[in-house]
């Protein structure tokens, strides 16, 4: 099994375009085309990077950092939906907590079913739309974690190792 990390230094993220990400990833795809292993791509929830990954590696499973998803959904619930803090915390715990939907899933269909039930149990249309968006992201994550022969310590995948490496780069350059 070959493990490949694609690290994007923090200072590069602020200035790069989607087209540049695509060119870099497409070149990487060309180098890996004869590689017999499954390529799994992981990232934060950066839309431009995720789109470039999907275009350059259309068949590769993709993982999104659950820590970033949690933060982004929490901000959306606060800033766009206007959900009170207590309801936000309950929603986030139901999904991202140690005994939440993500930590306790059986397979990607289980996540979809649980989130569908959650969407049906709320009358807030903004929360329903957010749950639908979250469902597609989390089902994609679950599919990436279900690949036979791969064993992840937790379904709550994070990109902490890349974040730590970026922190080391930042310290070295300062």
Tell me, yes or no, whether 29 and 88 share the same domain.
no
Judge if 80 and 93 occupy the same domain: yes
Q: How many Å from the N-terminal Cα to the C-terminal Cα in the chain?
A: 35
| Residue 142 contacts residue 105 (beta carbons within 8 Å) | yes
Helix crossing, 125-145 with 66-76: angle to 10°? Answer: 180
Q: How buried is residue 159: exposed, middle or buried, by Cβ count under 10 Å (0-12/13-18/19+)?
A: buried
User: Is 49 in the same domain as 78?
Assistant: no
Cα–Cα distance, 25 to 19 (Å, whole number): 10
Is position 38 within any domain? yes
Entry pTM? 0.71
Identify whether residues 18 and 89 lie together within a single domain. Answer: no
Cα 18 from chain centroid? 18
Please tell me whether residues 88 and 51 are part of one structural domain: no
**Is residue 12 exposed (0-12), middle (13-18) or buried (19+ Cβ within 10 Å)?**
middle
With beta carbons less than 8 A apart as the criterion, state whether 103 and 154 touch.
Answer: yes
> What are the pLDDT tens digits along the chain (174 aa)?
444 445 554 455 556 677 777 887 788 778 777 776 667 777 777 788 788 888 888 888 888 888 888 888 899 889 988 888 998 898 888 888 877 777 777 677 888 888 888 888 888 888 888 888 888 877 777 777 777 766 666 667 777 766 665 666 566 666
Q: pLDDT by residue (tens digit) across 100-129? A: 777 777 677 888 888 888 888 888 888 888
**Residue 77 resides in a domain:** yes
> Is 81 in the same domain as 101?
yes
Domain membership of residue 111 (yes or no) is: yes
Residue 170 CA, chain-centre distance (Å), reads 23
Q: Are residues 25 and 41 in the same domain?
A: yes
In a domain, 166, yes or no: no
Here the tokens at position 85 are 């803090």
Whether 135 maps to a domain, the answer reads yes
- Report the number of distinct structural domains present in the chain: 2
Residue 28 sits in which domain range? 10-62
Domain end, chosen from 62, 83, 106, is at: 62
Do 50 and 73 sit in the same domain of this protein?
Answer: no
| 157, part of any domain | no
139 and 85: one domain? yes
Residue 18 domain-assigned? yes
């Amino acid at each position: 099994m070959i493990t490949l990390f694609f690290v994007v230094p923090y200072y590069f993220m602020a200035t790069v375009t989607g087209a540049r990400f695509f060119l870099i990833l497409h070149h990487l795809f060309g180098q890996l085309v004869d590689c017999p292993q499954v390529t799994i791509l992981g990232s934060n929830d950066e839309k431009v990077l995720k789109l470039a990954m999907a275009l350059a590696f259309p068949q590769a499973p993709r993982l999104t950092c659950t820590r970033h998803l949690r933060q982004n959904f929490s901000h959306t619930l606060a800033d766009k939906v206007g959900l009170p803090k207590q309801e936000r915390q309950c929603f986030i715990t139901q999904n991202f907590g140690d005994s939440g939907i993500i930590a306790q899933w059986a397979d990607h269909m289980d996540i979809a079913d649980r989130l569908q039930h959650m969407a049906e149990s709320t009358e807030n249309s903004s929360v329903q739309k957010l749950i639908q968006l979250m469902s597609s992201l989390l089902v994609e994550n679950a599919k990436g974690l279900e690949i036979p022969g791969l064993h992840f310590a937790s379904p709550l995948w994070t990109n902490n190792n890349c974040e730590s490496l970026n922190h080391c780069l930042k310290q070295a350059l300062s």
